[in-house]
Chain A
Amino acid sequence: MHLVRQSCSGVRIDFQATLQSAHEAVREVIAWLDHQNLGAEECREWELVLAEAAGNAVVHSESESPLNIQATTTTTGVEVRVTDHSSDFDWPVKASLPEDDESEHGRGLFIIESLTDRVSYLRGREENVLHLQRDRRTPPRKDDDAAATLKVMTAELSACYEMLANIFRLGADAARDIPADTLAANWLEELRQLAAADFLSLRMMTPDGTQLERIAVSPATSFVTPFLDVSSTHLVESRACISRQDQWFDGSSAFDGADPLSHLHQTVSGVAHPLESGGEVIGVITFGVNKAHWEPKAAEINVVRSLGDFLGTLLHTLRRRDEANHSRLIKRELQIAADIQRSLLPVELPQSAVVQSAGHLTSVGEVGGDFLDGIPLADGGRLFVIADVMGKGVPAALFATAFRSNLHAHLSLAAEPAKLMYQLNRSLFTELDRADMFITAQLAYLSPDSLTLRTCGAGHGPLLLSDGVEVAEIGSDGPPLGVSEEYVFPQHEIHLKGITHILMHTDGLSDSTSSEVQITREMLHHWLRSTSVAGLDAWAARDSLRQMHRVYHESARVRDDATFIILARAHATLPVPCPQSLSHASR
């Protein structure tokens, strides 16, 4: 990073809102500028500019509050700020001479603009600031007093070395694994001592650019307001960010009630200095003393400005790095969670020569709340399970995992799905209730002879059966798991004679917020009947439904988990080789 350090010196003259007082204030400032080795002609032109500006401030002043002129010089230019308290004056886009050559008024602003390089006028609630800048037309006169010059140069060089040493130390601190906020707090305390200030505050812009967040203060009891609205021009620190200019304040400043500076319970003076990085305002550093007036040395101001700029940029970079690391960490954790979730799914669904099964699970994002399982049981039967945890992401995946664990822990009840569902509800109720979540689920037990299906639903969509002629729905009568702890779930027993295809699915298969392009219940019925008539095996039926879901949901731009299991009565021997019975897709 390249820092431009420039020594400067300044003066501030307060004056009453009278033309005579303004006149004397201008003379004072011009005398000071002359003392700063400004050329005689430049002094004359600045005198004219300031006479116009101060006169204008007096004419438009609406209160007894004193006005002031602040001037700073560097080796390359002069900056002047004239503070006024008017409410009815605003600077024109372009100052011009009056149309009537003989008009007795209306030339002041034109003179000011003509004799300066840059003019800006910032309106505030209590006061306004006219900011004037002009490059030096001639370089500073050489000082004849070589000893004095040498003394000044030595002091500046010493300050430079000190500054450089501090920047190196700050850089070294940043390289260590110190949290950004701790780094800021430590260095603000250092800065306060270096600048001989009584208080310091560092605020950084929030990522959305609307607030100034308090990062560190010294001493810790000052500046209690944690966030400031950046757009509030009546707050000194916000005003510094908006104007991108130092905002000075002292005992005569009237702080807004919402301004943290008004909460310091004593008279204060100081400056709020905006921090910039890459052309963007990134924060503000405010420092001051517990006195009505303060005339800090140029070196003290330079220390805070330069180190403040460096610290601000460093923190900005560190925070961005931390955010990027945090984002990477979360992504990695999601990937791990997704891997774990996938590892809990069955590799294959159980098959038999009589009933085939195939399933599909699509997760939106890395992890989701959908779950399916197909478990061969000790009695020769098979248990098919489909479940949907409310919500998505890691919380949903965690509950899906807990559901799976509980399911496998109570497989002895599998032949009676209602009892198993009751047990699952009891086991999971406390955690679900505490997290304000629920799970919908459907259990289907296929008897060893594959002629009977016992089902139990908990707030889930209906199970569909087709014999090629019509489609029947087996309702899901119970509430979702996690809603009623002692609920006794009903159970259905279906004789599968003539039934060729059975579909178990989650809401994501047919739910869509777009009514025009969703897969409706009627469409699912039609599809299942057609599948039955066509005599598709379970894998072909699975692929067909998966394709239909993809087409409809992509056209609807809907992203939802979609999971289903298809059971199909086998008409022939199993295909060889047997296709993968469970497909999985992530979006």
Chain B
Amino acid sequence: MNPTVITAPAELCSSTARAWKDRVARDITPESTETAVDLSKTRFIDSSGLGALLSLHKTLRAQGGILKLLNPSTAVTQLIELTRLHRVFEIVHA
């Protein structure tokens, strides 16, 4: 089964994160066992954006699923590493 791919906005930050998280939560179904967030178009992410990704990660794990982060930019990858979330997220560069 192909993973569900969700595209993150260009800026996943305090002013956008909550709305994006609510919208994604509605899109996730119990069948969404493998979900990927496409970060290739995300120019900017802050701690609120990271919080939204963590929320999604925990929701999926609770229903036996897994979250992958697809093609984050160098800047986003650096932030994930700075905050040591590379120990939590599976990052895929395709």
- Which A residues are within 8 Å of any B CB, using their own CB? 19-20, 22-23, 41, 44, 47-48, 51-52, 55, 58, 97, 101-105, 107-108, 110-111, 114
Contacts and interface: CB of A to CB of B under 8 A. Distances in A.
Contacts of B50: 107
The 3 closest A-B pairs by CB, nearest first: A104-B51, A55-B14, A23-B15
Contacts of A44: 44, 75
B83 interface: yes
Interface stretch (B2-10, B23-31, B32-40, B54-62): B54-62
Interface string B41-56: 0001011101110110
A351 B86 CA distance: 107
Given A97-B83, A111-B79, A48 B46 contact: yes
Nearest to A44: B75
Nearest to A101: B88
Given A55-B48, A111-B83, A102 B15 contact: no
A47 B44 contact: yes
Contact of A101 (B51, B52, B87): B87
Contacts of A41: 75
Contacts of A110: 83
A102 B53 CA distance: 10
Interface string B68-94: 000000010001001111011000000
A19 B14 contact: yes
Nearest to B48: A55
A102 B88 contact: yes
Contact of A97 (B15, B51, B75, B84): B84
A55 B55 CA distance: 19
Nearest to B83: A107
B51 A48 contact: no
A51 B85 contact: no
A97 B54 CA distance: 14
B46 A55 contact: yes
Contacts of A102: 54, 57-58, 88
A48 B51 CA distance: 15
A105 B51 contact: yes
B60 to A, nearest CB: 12
Given A101-B88, A103-B54, A51 B13 contact: yes
21 contacts: A22-B15, A23-B13, A23-B15, A41-B75, A44-B75, A48-B46, A51-B14, A52-B46, A55-B13, A55-B48, A97-B83, A101-B87, A101-B88, A102-B54, A104-B51, A104-B52, A104-B54, A104-B55, A105-B47, A108-B46, A114-B82
Contacts of B85: 101
Given A19-B15, A52-B46, A97-B84, 15 more contacts: A19-B14, A23-B13, A23-B15, A48-B46, A51-B13, A51-B14, A51-B46, A55-B46, A55-B48, A101-B84, A101-B87, A102-B58, A104-B51, A104-B55, A114-B82
B14 A22 contact: yes
A104 B57 CA distance: 10
Nearest to B14: A55
A483 to B, nearest CB: 82
A52 B45 CA distance: 10
Nearest to A51: B46
